[in-house]
Chains A and B, each alone.
Chain A
């Protein structure tokens, strides 16, 4: 599976609600130790919905923190859907069963 196969895919709930397209992936360095002795990066969540200007600059993700005035204006958290809620995936869609768990 490639990142490019996920980014841009439309995410829908099992009930048919459209959550928008995937615009980023949340990786966490908490996987098994690799050959280099470091914890691997695992895919924990999909960031879905419209990719805002703040997200493009990194304010929505919290990666960029200054100047504070821009942080105040542009910080709007991305909607995250846990990977564990994915129940089906094809070339166009990712079906999730979030049961109200989406952030």
Chain B
């Protein structure tokens, strides 16, 4: 059964529509991430699930029951806030005990649960401290402990790692993921960091302009982005704009007069019904799928799609060569290749860029 379900949920503040008719089903035990730039509606959606904002229209169901205007304190949901929101006048242990006290559990049971959960997040030694005596990372652990100790049906996390430095953030990403797997708890996570989303999630909902542009596993989001926005926002990519010609396996994308073959899957998603002039499309090719070779080194023999251009810059970044090529049509193409693939390519050198058609994705606008 779905733990959380959103049906045509819309939210506007005055004239501004922040969330536009979102449909979503989150399964039990799933780690779902709302990923998107600031202002895309991801935090507002999370806050509506938590009960801090009410939807302007649409329904939110928790455990199959419509929660309507139910206030946060009557929802079986807990939140880890971006600012941690620890109670400054209470100790770590008192902070963690707060939710259990609201449930009127016996004192002994509360004490046991608080001890256990603090041990789980390795904060047991800090139980008598006040929040201001803790570092950012420690406060974050306490905030997580305070939420999960209540064993909610869903844990909402609003950019919980945003305030931490990069190294700590990477460690906490792994820890949170492990914690979620161990508890089997449903996590709904909000972030604008695409790497974080890819690292932690079972599924990612990429949000843009108040809508979910694509919802899929991290691998699919990365390798098969559906829209131009998703391809651009998640990871680095090269976008080629052109028009589609022909259908099925004969479909070609015409970019600057060059006919590029498309993969079977890509051509299937080509806008077939539209008239010839309207069949404009974008092709997304990840830099790691692109190879660069000096001009004349067997261009046509390999068959796959290729374009010629001149090298603008070659950068050695340790794990890869990063080559920026200016194509004949004026567009730029970035290639990421292993260090052994070729040497330094001098700026101005005529080259051919090539990629595997199966790794190129045709996008909707």
Partners in one complex: no
A interface residues (Cβ-Cβ under 8 A, vs B)? none
